[in-house]
Amino acid sequence: MTGTPVVWSPTTLRHDVEQEVWVGVALPAVEVPSRVDAILAGVDGRPLVEAGPQDDTVLREVHDPDLLDFLATAAGRWERAGYADEVGQRRVVPYLFPTPALTDGMPARVPVRVHADAGRFGYDTCTLLGPGTWEAARAAVDCALVAAGMVADGRPTVYALCRPPGHHATRAGYGGSCYLNNAAVAAQALRSAGHRRVAVIDLDAHQGNGTAQIFYDRGDVTYASVHVDPAAGWFPHLYGYADETGAGTGEGATLNLPLPEGTGDEQWLQAVRRAVGWASESGASALVVSLGVDAAVDDPESPLAVTAGGYRAAGALAGSTGLPAVVVQEGGYHLPSLGGLVTAYLEGHEAGP
């Protein structure tokens, strides 16, 4: 078997929350376990590697320990508190958000009930958490770690089939269908393995506010993202503007390239070319690609109009750098085209410099 190795874990299928609560209404979830089957079918023929449990060290460098504790225990707390019988909700849904509008600098207690506590970590209502969520999110991190380890050991390109996705997970928060930041973990793992500078290139339709935040004040991990303009009303709403360029030692190490609704291959690839050029000129010796394929024309979650050919060309641009790369799965929700889009990207990337 030839081609990019695909690192996956069957444990990632255990996250199945069925719903997302949006504007107060429970809608069918789009980030579903069958995404994994669709992608596996698409990438068929490449060597499959099953990720087993990995060490926590890098995960704890990227995330706040309180977030990790909450994610690991919340489903059990919810189950024991009896919300399924009481109100018919089997999954953790945040209810109260301790923003400055509520606390205004006054000391705030930790709410005793989990439905009131979830808003300390969950920053939107869409990202439900149930039995299996922690195990799956942790397994997705394991996929990213195994892929990063293979690249650190000399494999040129490895694809991590991470699910749930990760790039909206901040240091201390979860949201946007993301719980643990797989791409940030991969970047940090490459740093620990000796790469002095790592460049993250985020192709998901939505700006990866979690990854951007985690590395915002660092110069050793650069972040470039091509995404639908948050100013046009799109997630993550607060971040992804062009004037966010980093802070402190990270000043100039963040590049946001927001695009108008309806953007197709030509303009999207122009931005991808800029992001890839900027990343390779940064002096990075390794890449992490946050491969969301929800910029695709048929995707239900974004207004961008990229084709499979566009993703193939984006892969070719990243591959042309000749840099070793961990490609991490992010979003992409149109099940009939999902596998083909991921494969198109990988074929482009595999062509190399």
- Active site positions, annotated: 168
Q: Could you say which of 22, 103, 192, 241 contacts ligand SP5 (CB under 6 A)?
A: 22
Q: What's the one-letter identity of residue 10? A: P
331 versus 348: smaller Cβ distance to Zn ion: 331
Q: Is 229 in the site for ligand SP5 (CB under 6 A)?
A: no
* CA distance linking residue 255 with residue 272, whole number of Å: 11
Order the strands of the 221-228 sheet from edge to edge: 48-50, 6-8, 157-160, 325-329, 286-291, 198-202, 221-228, 254-259
Question: Residue 235 touches which of Zn ion, ligand SP5, none (CB < 5 to 8 A by kind)?
Answer: ligand SP5
Q: Could you say which of 126, 255, 279, 306 contacts ligand SP5 (CB under 6 A)?
A: 126
β-bridge pairing 19-22 and 25-28: antiparallel
- In the shown chain, the binding pattern of residues 312 to 331 toward ligand SP5, with x for contact by CB under 6 A and - for none, equals ------------------xx
119 versus 331: smaller Cβ distance to Zn ion: 331
Phi, then psi, of 278 in degrees rounded to 5? -60, -45
204 versus 229: smaller Cβ distance to Zn ion: 204
Question: Residue 5 touches which of ligand SP5, Zn ion, none (CB < 5 to 8 A by kind)?
Answer: none
Place of tokens 């643990």: 180
Q: Is 176 in the site for ligand SP5 (CB under 6 A)?
A: yes
Pair 297, 268: CB distance under 8 Å = no
* CA distance linking residue 19 with residue 177, whole number of Å: 11
CB of 342 to ligand SP5, least distance (A): 14
Instruction: Look up residue 324 and give its DSSP letter.
Output: -
Q: Is 177 in the site for ligand SP5 (CB under 6 A)?
A: yes
Stretch that binds ligand SP5, among 99-107, 174-182, 210-218, 311-319 (CB under 6 A): 174-182
Size of the site for ligand SP5 (CB under 6 A): 16
DSSP for 225-264, please give it.
EEEE-GGGT-TTSSS--TT----GGGTT-EEEEEE-TT-B
Helix, strand, coil percentages for the chain (3-state, nearest 5): 40, 15, 45
CB of 207 to Zn ion, least distance (A): 9
Chain residues in the site for ligand SP5 (CB under 6 A): 22, 27, 126, 165, 168, 176-178, 204, 206, 235, 292, 294, 301, 330-331
